Each structure stands twice: as C-alpha cells, then as structure tokens.
C-alpha cells in the first residue's frame, strides 16, 4: 500500500494539504538528484518528495552495493510538525525499504522545522504548508483569547516576519550546504510582498543563484484559491557580487485550466517544462518566447532587469490571457465558476488575516 498524500492529516487550520504526485515527480525529474547526496524535506508530510527522490536515484543509476545501502539509510531526511503525519511518513518509508528496522535511526524528526537548523543537506525539496501566519493563542488574566502573530527571530534569517512562507524560504537557505540545490513551492505573495518579502528576495538573489521559477496553474491543490510557484535555487559562498545572473521563468498558469476531478494535472503536462529546464545541463537553455513567438512559455530575465522592478517583484507574466481576448476560447462555465470561487476564497482568506491582525 502506498500513501499518496504529501501533506495529509488535519485539513484546514494547520494548513496541510496534498501536493499532486505529477508535480512532485516533475520537480524531481528536473532537479535530478544524484546518489550519495543528502536530501531533506523540512515539511515532509507523508514523504512524497523523499519517496520520489528515492525512486529517481534508484531508477536512473546503476547503484553498487554500498550506494544501495546509503540510499536506504543516510540519504533521505524529513521533518514534520504533526506527530500522526510523521508516523505515516515513517511507515511509508519502511514500506519502500528505507530506514529498515536495523537502521541506526529513523530519518524523520517530529519538530517545528522553523525553530532552528536541524542539519545541512546537499538538496532540499519541499512544499511547506500554506495558510495562516505562524500564530499562538494567548489567554489573558480576564480569560479573553488573543491570537498573536509569532514573528520568528533567528540570527541566521535576513528578515523577522510572521509570514510562514517567507520563513520557510529563509529556513531552506540556511539548511543547504554550499552549492546545495533547492526546489520549494511558494505562494505568489512570496514573489511580490513588500517589507520582509522584498528583503528576503534581495538577499536570496544575492546569496544564491535563483535560476528557475515555475508558475503553477490553479486548480491543482486541495486548498482552494492557491496560486503557487516552484522556486529553484543553489546556495553559494559569500561574495560581493550577486550570484543570480539570469532567472528563467516557465508560465504553466496562463490559459491552463485544471480541476481536481475532471481535468487533473498529469505528469505529461510538465514534460515541456522539464525539457526546457534541461536537467543534463541547466546552463544550456533556449527560450521559447521571442518577439516572433510572443506565446512562448519559457522566458529569461537578466538580474539587472529584475533589480529595476518595484520592490524586486518577481510576480512576472507576459502571455496574453485568451479568455480576456476572445470569448470563443472561454473554458466551460463550470471551470469559470470554479476559478471565480477560488479567487474569491483566496481574497477572503487574505482579508480575514488582515482583519484578525487589526483586532489585536
């Protein structure tokens, strides 16, 4: 039996949700993990990314006995906040022969990953929980409840903020070894938010080579109204000059209409992105967008051009939305209705956060 959820457990408040299997596989195929690399998911859920990385390494390499042993124990590491979900992850790994009974230690820690570093790794693959800011409910002497945002203060972070996604992005950077590689799913606000968001983007582009951004379609997550992306970057040693020189962006969102039931995301929907990413040598890439082909989904931006953008906003689009251009190209009414519902739910949850912050 294979547990197919990445983040199962309690739906809703804790922000857990599922990462579609085709997306996990597409990300792993692009980043192409190698044998002997240490791989961590600091929000591992039931182990979707860890299992996909294991399968990729086993399938794409002729492993010797020592490498096979290392893949089963000493390659994959997970951190999970919810105890019950962590147990499912351990069971999932055991079912795949990872961390068998005679292994030195179970590779899943139950803890709050954001509380501090829990090691350094050559690769981090993760889809941190979306949703609420980190918060704690405090009951005062009069018995009144007050929800207070938890601002994470860490000496190794660039900015102190209660935005959980910005904190996870900073955390992923801190647990990467020099030249370590990461792929992290982030919501749109990480790309455009000012204040701490701008600080984090500025420092990340300086101290890492932020080379690829995959803009994900809507309608692929159980959490309604989620607009997300995958950010790929490599950690680099300290230097005066920024490490990011070019950001390649693949737009899988504009004019794409997926739903959880009728029109689900398939691995083949990511074939073009993985080919464009060029896993064999990501330094040799060819854009599909040009003045002659304005509908190309794969486009490159120079670091200097990114710097000129207000607040270093990376929320970048260039394709024409066909549904705005031509009523004949409109998707089915039920898909339009679903997209409207998702947009409204996303707006409502964001406004609810603002309203709860104002109450304090």
Q: Is the pLDDT of residue 284 over 90?
A: yes
Task: Please enumerate, as own/partner, the contacts of 302-306 that have beta carbons within 8 Å and a separation of 24 or more.
Answer: 302/245, 302/246, 303/205, 303/242, 303/244, 303/245, 303/246, 303/247, 306/205, 306/244, 306/247
- Give the 3-state secondary structure of residue 249: strand
- C-beta separation of 194 from 311 below 8 A: yes
Tokens 């294991």, located at residue: 54
Q: Residue 78 and residue 121: Cα distance in Å, rounded? A: 11
With bands split at pLDDT 50, 70 and 90, how would you rate the model's confidence at 157?
very high
Of the two residues 197 and 148, the one the predictor is more confident about is 197
DSSP one-letter string for 78-146 = EEESSHHHHHHHHHHHHHTTSS-TTSSS-SEEES-GGGS----EEEEEE----SSPSEEEEE-TTS-EE
- C-beta separation of 186 from 165 below 8 A: yes
Q: Is the pLDDT of residue 170 over 60?
A: yes
| pTM metric for this prediction | 0.85
Structure confidence by residue, pLDDT tens digits, 20-40: 999 999 999 999 999 999 999
**R_g over Cα of the chain:** 21
- C-beta separation of 255 from 323 below 8 A: yes
Q: Residue 42 and residue 324: Cα distance in Å, rounded? A: 40
Structure confidence by residue, pLDDT tens digits, 38-55: 999 999 999 999 999 999
Q: Is the pLDDT of residue 147 over 80?
A: no
């Amino acid at each position: 039996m294979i547990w197919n959820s990445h983040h199962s457990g309690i739906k809703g408040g804790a922000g857990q949700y599922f990462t579609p299997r085709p997306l996990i596989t597409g990300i792993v195929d692009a980043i192409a993990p190698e044998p002997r690399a240490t791989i961590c998911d600091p929000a591992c859920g039931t182990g979707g990314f860890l299992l996909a990385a294991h399968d990729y390494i086993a399938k794409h390499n002729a492993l010797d006995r020592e490498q096979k042993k290392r893949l089963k124990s000493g390659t994959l590491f997970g951190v999970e906040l919810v105890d019950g979900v962590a147990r499912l992850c351990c069971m999932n790994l055991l079912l795949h022969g990872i961390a068998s009974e005679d292994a030195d230690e179970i590779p899943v820690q139950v803890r709050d990953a954001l509380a501090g570093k829990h090691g350094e790794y050559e690769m981090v693959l993760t889809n941190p929980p979306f949703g609420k800011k980190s918060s704690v409910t405090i009951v005062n002497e009069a018995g009144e409840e007050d929800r207070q945002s938890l601002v994470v203060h860490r000496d190794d972070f660039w900015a102190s903020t209660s935005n959980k996604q910005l904190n996870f992005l900073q955390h992923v950077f801190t647990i990467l070894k020099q030249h370590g590689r990461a792929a992290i799913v982030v919501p749109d606000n990480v790309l455009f938010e000012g204040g701490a968001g701008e600080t984090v983007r500025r420092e990340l582009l300086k101290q890492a080579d932020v080379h690829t951004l995959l803009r994900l379609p809507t309608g692929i997550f159980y959490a309604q109204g989620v607009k997300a992306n995958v950010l790929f970057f490599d950690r680099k040693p300290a230097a005066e000059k920024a490490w990011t020189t070019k950001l390649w962006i693949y737009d899988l969102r504009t004019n794409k209409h997926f739903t959880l039931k009728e029109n689900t995301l398939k691995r083949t929907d990511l074939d073009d992105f993985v080919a464009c990413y060029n896993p064999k040598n990501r330094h040799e890439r060819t854009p599909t967008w040009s003045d002659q082909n304005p509908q190309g989904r794969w486009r490159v931006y120079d670091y200097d051009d990114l710097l000129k953008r207000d607040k270093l906003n990376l929320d970048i689009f260039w394709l024409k939305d066909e549904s705005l251009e031509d009523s004949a190209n409109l998707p089915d009414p039920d898909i339009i209705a679903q997209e409207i519902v998702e947009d409204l739910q996303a707006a409502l949850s964001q406004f609810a956060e603002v309203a709860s912050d104002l109450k304090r």
